[in-house]
Amino acid sequence: MKMAQIHIQGNGLEAKDGKSLRGTTESLGGQEGESPGSESEPNGFPETQADKYGFIGGSQQSTEDLAEDIPPEVLRQREAKWLEMLNSWDKWMSKKHKKVKVRCQKGIPPSLRGRAWLYLSGGKVKREQNVGRFQELDSEYGEPKWVDVIEKDLHRQFPFHEMFAARGGHGQQDLFRVLKAYTLYRPEEGYCQAQAPIAAVLLMHMPAEDAFWSLVQICEKYLPGYYSAGLEAIQLDGEILFSLLKRVSPVAHRHLKKHKIDPVLYMTEWFMCAFSRTLPWASVLRIWDMFFCEGVKVIFRVGLVLLKFMLGSQEKLKACQGQYETMERLRAVEPCYMQEGFLVKETLELPVSERDIEKEHLAQLRRWKETRGELHCKSPPRMHGARAIMAAEPPSRQDLQQKPTIVVEPAQIITGSEDDERKKEEKKTSKVDKKKSKKDSSLDTANQDQAPLDHQALPSLSQALLKDTSLQASNQSLSSTEHDTYL
């Protein structure tokens, strides 16, 4: 098939309309516009209620018909199961990986999503093996050409989300830190605009350091070569997608071929941003849960499902008589096809495996060499999901150990019988103290009285804490929480 009419310019990929996807200051999709936030208005929308995902408005604001509600009791059960898995991650991944995969497909509990993504991606291991590295990169100034472009891109990332609405707010500051650190970590790769939404999604669920290492894993393991100069990897995957479409939906394949609509014209933003700028937020999170567990095949499947249902029948193609109409249809996916339940179900049922993708990858690579010669940027091998990443770089038990930021020591609980004994001891002590007080000096008396006062205060303080703050119920979750601020 004819490759897309694109021109490589400098360090980037330029499409027909002249917009570059590397080092550009223009929006990838052009649909989010300027950030409405300002320093005087903390989140840009002081009087508007944010939805449960943090969106205040805009194209990705959640709606009831696009998101599925999970009963609280089911959510609590899932949280308990995920806490158990995270506490013995190596055992679960080696012996019960299928169970982990099923639980990712059902959806990771929101309270544990950030920590689960960190473990699935291998970012947790990477962080433990590079202690202090992010802080080191964070303290450096960065390459001026990348710093300038990143700063201009910050306000374009999810401007309707409360975390990124304010110019210069904590969300934009952390986003800058993560993206700048990556340009220093991989100076030969630099910055690609499509990395910004990826990093922003990560920051919605975890601290900057964890987001940085998760971004590193996505760029190096899940989508290697996607953000390199020339973007050859994304072009290859576009051809793989188109070839797989022939098997999944021959009607859609014939239509796109007939009108010479090259894959990079419609799938570049889908794949490079992992659908974070395309789907409603409930669907984005479910797709990312599966993506971190199973790898890039999930992205391929989602793309194939959308193409199949938008262009997969003659009736649907009646409104797409030419290239322009077809592209307009692909840019504005119908909400019913993006609905969380529908999309997840169809994605899971689509028969496309890692083997299918790798087989087609080799075929397209041969074709590329025949027509274009050797690749300019040779990417590391792609890892298909969490299990493959762990197998390639086996972690130590220490690397996987959870390190809570808040630890609450269990308060002493005093039973009725123990309380009676304590009172008897206090009475005896009181009598002895009264006798001693007559003989001892006033200084000695003060010193003697200090100990029983502290002894009496501690149990009463413990009981007050238990009564007023219900630490009995929350002690376990607090002590096992790695980043409580983000739960």
* Lowest-confidence pick of 71-85, 197-211, 472-486: 472-486
Identify the residue with better confidence: 469 or 217: 217
pLDDT tens per residue across span 213-230: 999 999 999 999 999 888
Q: What is the pLDDT of residue 50?
A: 83
In a shared domain, residues 225 and 236 = no
Domain-terminating residue out of 337, 361, 376: 376
Assigned token pair, 156: 């374009």
Structure tokens at 401: 């150990």
Q: What are 150-188's pLDDT values in tens digits?
A: 999 999 999 999 999 999 999 999 999 999 999 999 999
Query: pLDDT at residue 458 above 50?
Result: no
Residue 88 has which token pair? 């013995």
Within-domain flag for 133 = yes
pLDDT of 266 above 80: yes
Residue 331 lies in a domain: yes
Q: What is the mean pLDDT of residues 314-332?
A: 88
More confident residue, 11 or 135: 135
CB-based contacts of 407, cutoff 8 Å, min separation 6:
478, 479
In this predicted structure, the answer to whether residue 58 has a pLDDT above a threshold of 90 is: no
User: Who's near 442: CB < 8 A, 6+ residues apart?
Assistant: none
Residue 193: inside a domain = yes
HSE-up (13 A, CA, CB side) for residue 76? 3
Least confident of 80-94, 162-176, 203-217, 458-472: 458-472
Which helix (H) or strand (E) segment is 144 a member of? helix 144-153
pLDDT at 407 over 90: no
Q: Do 263 and 193 share a structural domain?
A: no
Same domain, 199 and 251: no
Which residues touch 93 (CB under 8 Å, ≥6 apart)? 100, 386, 387, 390
For residues 21 and 426, give the distance between their C-alpha atoms in angstroms, rounded to a whole number: 76
Tokens of residue 383, six digits:
């890892």
Question: Measured between alpha carbons, how far is 4 from 166 in angstroms, rounded to an integer?
Answer: 38
pLDDT at 396: 82
Whether residue 217 lies inside any domain: the answer is: yes
The whole model's pTM is what? 0.76
Give phi and psi for 14, each to the nearest 5.
-110, 130
Both 251 and 336 in one domain: the answer is yes
Q: Which domain holds residue 214?
A: 112-229+383-404
Tens-digit pLDDT profile for residues 410-434: 555 445 555 566 556 656 555 555 5
pLDDT of residue 52: 87
DSSP 221: I
Indicate whether 200 and 119 sit together in one domain: yes
CA dist 109 and 384 (Å) reads: 23
- Burial of 62-78, coded b for 16+ CB within 10 Å and e otherwise, reads beeebbeeeeeeeeeeb
- Name the average pLDDT for the chain: 79
Q: Which of 81-95, 133-147, 276-290, 317-331 has the lowest mean pLDDT?
A: 317-331
pLDDT tier, 314 (very low <50, low <70, confident <90, very high otherwise): confident
Q: Which residue has the higher pLDDT, 414 or 448?
A: 414
Question: What's the pLDDT score for residue 395?
Answer: 86
pLDDT at residue 377, rounded to an integer: 78
Q: Which CA distances in Å does 276 have to 54, 183, 201, 288? A: 15, 22, 8, 9
Residues 201 and 222 in one domain: yes
The CATH number given to whatever domain includes residue 167 is 1.10.8.270
Domain end: 376, 393, 417, which one? 376
CA–CA separation, 261 vs 256, rounded Å?
A: 5
What mean pLDDT comes out for the span 331-353? 93
Same domain, 237 and 222: no
Helix axes 113-121, 72-87, angle to 10 degrees: 30
The Cα diameter of the chain in Å comes to 108
Looking at the structure of the chain, the number of domains it has is 2
User: Mean per-residue pLDDT for 70-83?
Assistant: 93
254 with 290, same domain: the answer is: yes
Predicted pLDDT at 318: 85
Tokens 């290859």 — which residue? 236
Is residue 361 domain-shared with residue 239, that is, in the same domain?
A: yes
In a domain, 250, yes or no: yes
| CATH label of the domain that carries residue 250 | 1.10.472.80
**With bands split at pLDDT 50, 70 and 90, how would you rate the model's confidence at 56?**
confident
Query: Minimal CA–CA distance to 222: which of 339, 91, 379, 98?
Result: 379
Asked if 192 and 160 count as a contact pair (C-beta separation under 8 A), the reply is: no
At residue 378, the pLDDT reads 80
Q: Is residue 388 part of a domain?
A: yes
Position 93 in a domain: no
Q: Which two tokens stand for residue 403?
A: 């390190």
Concatenated DSSP letters of 362-403: HHHHHHHHHHH-S-SS-PPPPP-SHHHHHHHSPPPHHHH---
Residue 293 — very low, low, confident or very high, per pLDDT cuts 50/70/90? very high
Range of weakest confidence among 113-117, 371-375, 439-443: 439-443
Domain final position from 331, 361, 376: 376
What tokens does 395 get? 């972690």
Instruction: Flag the least confident range among 22-36, 229-243, 312-326.
Output: 22-36
Give residue-wise pLDDT tens across range 220-256: 999 999 998 888 999 999 999 999 999 999 999 999 9
Q: Which residues pair with 252 in a beta bridge?
A: none
The answer to whether position 21 is within a domain reads no
CA–CA gap between residue 433 and residue 449 (Å, rounded): 8
For 252-300, where are the E strands, in sequence order?
none
**Domain check: are 219 and 279 in the same one?**
no
Gap between the Cα atoms of 300 and 366, Å rounded? 20
Give the pLDDT mean for 320-331. 90
Are both 198 and 275 inside the same structural domain? no
Claim to verify: residue 358 and residue 327 sit in the same structural domain: yes
